[in-house]
Amino acid sequence: MKMRVISKEDFDNFVSSMINDDSLKVIGVKSKGDKFAFDPLESASELRLDYDVTLLPPKKYFFPQRETLVTYDVANGFAAKDPADLKPTVILGVHPYDIVALLHMDEIFRETKSDPYYFEKRKSSIIIGVNIQNMSKWCFAPQMGCATVEYGYDLMLTDLGNRYAVNIGSQKGEALLEKYAKNVTDALARDIQLVGQKKHEVMDISQQKINFETELIPEMLSKTYGESSFWEKHAEKCLACGSCVLVCPTCYCFDVKENPDLTLKEGERIRTWDGCLLEDFAKIASGENFRPTRPTRYRHRYFKKGKYLFDRFGFVSCVGCGRCSSNCLPDIANPVNLFNDMYSEVRSMGVEIDVPVAPDVNIKTEGDINYVPKLATIAKKIPMTAKETLFEIKLDDDSILNQVPGQFVQVSVFGVGEAPISVSSSPTQKGAFQLCVRKIGSVTTALHMLNVGDKIGIRGPFGHGFDTEFLKGKDLLFVAAGLGIAPLRSLLNYVLDNRADYGRVIVLYGCKEPREQLFGDEMVALEKRDDVEYKHTVDWCPENELWDGNIGVITTLIPQINFDPENTYAIVVGPPIVYKFVIA
């Protein structure tokens, strides 16, 4: 890798020439009282390359706190937002741990589909890193292997007293130096040696100490998942303020909201940072919260960074910047304290901790995420129960949805928002597709208020769907509880339309009470078929309703059927308790 040298005076001139060029945006680290922040530079003298840590990481330039995804107007539908101001943006003074964090974000934002809004900004940026001169007292980047980097930057500076050594990391960086800097010379052997020495010294200046090898983190987390008293002890004082996640350079969750104008005819859909420590983060429309308590949310933060992302991408997504620790009012967010205590806990349990085997990361990125919904029309609206309606939808461009059974679409109602809904018709039904929707919150209620001929937006299909090829020749046990019949019906109808390809078809369907039964006529027709074994149940039957079937939860139907577990595949959709019983 090439290394150059530039005097500090010439470096200031280099920064000034970039600032004076209107075709560039130049961001750098500036002081804000006794703190530091990335901000646009107005003069080279504002730049502080001796900072310890910035308030927010540079991710805010690629994944802003608030960003428009789509604009809409009721007359013309949805459109991609106006192209961003994509002037090449130089970000000056990025510490190595923040460079590693950006590399993690790149992986995450390109996972199976890449996020165009993130990458348009990433591609137009030029990262000028700087090796750490001062370290915040909370920083443990050396222990996380993130205090120095060998790639991920365009240029990397090291302060050598009266001059900077400049490592060239990319052609873009080299061209920038060539265009705006003067008197740049090749590094001499002593410069190269000094840079090595400075990078070595930084390893010893952290005031934090982790008592074990950090490769053990994923495995130690696994061992403590069920130790609720351990997590309760650590999360006891948590205020659920979310500061720890909002300042983190590797947190990437966001919420999507609608922002209509005053006429309600036009508006935009925006995304804003969200955080798993916030109480509403895992709350869903029914009011259920998957992580209702502070300890469960606190634990999730560590599992997300230390286990789930490791399993998915092969890295622990904490770079040791220490921002979470310094921003936590009750002082409980320091990962070092938690890790050390976890190590003691696991040792006291007397269990072996193996170094986890690096996962086989094999992620294929296929195209870009399309945030712009297609315009579609409600072709039919069939009431099913007091809460559920079946909508038949036609895409306005006459394209077909091409879904795999089990996939879902994102349904947009102008000015209200977007909600994921399973496609409940089979792909063998051509032309239009069907959605069975329960009225439960803002989007689903607004959808119910629309009429035939009204316009909505559709994105998708999304999700993996069921593997119809794999299931061929197998006996199939369909178990649907309540609204679970909606996605399951898509596969069931597909199988019935290709009946010769599959073995036995057993359908168990349950709902709370008779009046909540969905697709009643279709269920009666199923019962009459001699190539389908159908059983249904209700949890209870009020006195004034007619019901001659089974009464009891859906799992009471399972002992009533005989099937060969070796050749039977169960397709189960319903609340978690149903899965537990079916598997048992």
Ligand X SMILES: Cc1cc2nc3c(=O)[nH]c(=O)nc-3n(C[C@H](O)[C@H](O)[C@H](O)COP(=O)(O)OP(=O)(O)OC[C@H]3O[C@@H](n4cnc5c(N)ncnc54)[C@H](O)[C@@H]3O)c2cc1C
The item of ligand X, ligand SF4, none sharing an interface with residue 434, based on CB under 5 to 8 Å by kind, is: none
Q: Residue 240 interacts with ligand SF4 (CB under 6 A)?
A: yes
CA–CA distances in Å: residue 216 to residues 146, 167, 507: 16, 33, 46
Q: Residue 277 interacts with ligand SF4 (CB under 6 A)?
A: yes
Contacting residues for 103 by C-beta, under 8 A, at least 6 apart: 152
> In the set 157, 251, 421, 571, which binds ligand X (CB under 6 A)?
421
Q: Residue 359 interacts with ligand X (CB under 6 A)?
A: no
Site for ligand SF4 in 220-239 (CB under 6 A): 238-239
Class of residue 286 by CB neighbours under 10 A (exposed 0-12, middle 13-18, buried 19+): exposed
CA–CA separation, 21 and 389 (whole Å): 59
> In the set 70, 220, 221, 248, which binds ligand SF4 (CB under 6 A)?
248
CA–CA separation, 241 and 327 (whole Å): 10
Q: Which stretch binds ligand X (CB under 6 A): 30-38, 58-66, 365-373, 416-424?
A: 416-424
Site for ligand X in 448-507 (CB under 6 A): 483, 486-487
> In the set 132, 177, 276, 318, which binds ligand SF4 (CB under 6 A)?
318
CA–CA separation, 462 and 363 (whole Å): 17
Cβ 217 vs Cβ 306: under 8 Å: yes
The item of ligand SF4, ligand X, none sharing an interface with residue 444, based on CB under 5 to 8 Å by kind, is: ligand X
**Measured from the CB atom, is 486 or 505 closer to ligand X?**
486
Residues linked to residue 410 through DSSP beta bridges, in sequence order? 420, 459
**Measured from the CB atom, is 114 or 214 closer to ligand SF4?**
214
Shortest distance in whole angstroms from residue 555 CB to ligand X: 22
Q: Residue 270 interacts with ligand X (CB under 6 A)?
A: no
Q: What is the DSSP letter of 165?
A: E
Q: Which stretch binds ligand X (CB under 6 A): 228-236, 237-245, 436-444, 554-562?
A: 436-444
> In the set 295, 335, 417, 487, which binds ligand SF4 (CB under 6 A)?
335
Contacting residues for 69 by C-beta, under 8 A, at least 6 apart: 81, 117, 256, 268, 269, 270, 271, 371
CA–CA separation, 302 and 325 (whole Å): 13
Q: Residue 480 interacts with ligand SF4 (CB under 6 A)?
A: no
CA–CA separation, 534 and 551 (whole Å): 15
Which residue lies nearest ligand X, judged by its C-beta? 441
Shortest distance in whole angstroms from residue 243 CB to ligand X: 23
**Measured from the CB atom, is 25 or 234 closer to ligand SF4?**
234
The item of ligand X, ligand SF4, none sharing an interface with residue 520, based on CB under 5 to 8 Å by kind, is: none
∠ CA 474-475-479 to the nearest 5 degrees? 125
CA–CA separation, 178 and 166 (whole Å): 12
Tokens of 571: 């397709």
Residues of this chain that bind ligand X (CB under 6 A)? 284-285, 408, 417, 419-422, 436-438, 440-444, 483, 486-487
Residues of this chain that bind ligand SF4 (CB under 6 A)? 238-244, 247-250, 277, 305, 318-324, 327-330, 332-333, 335
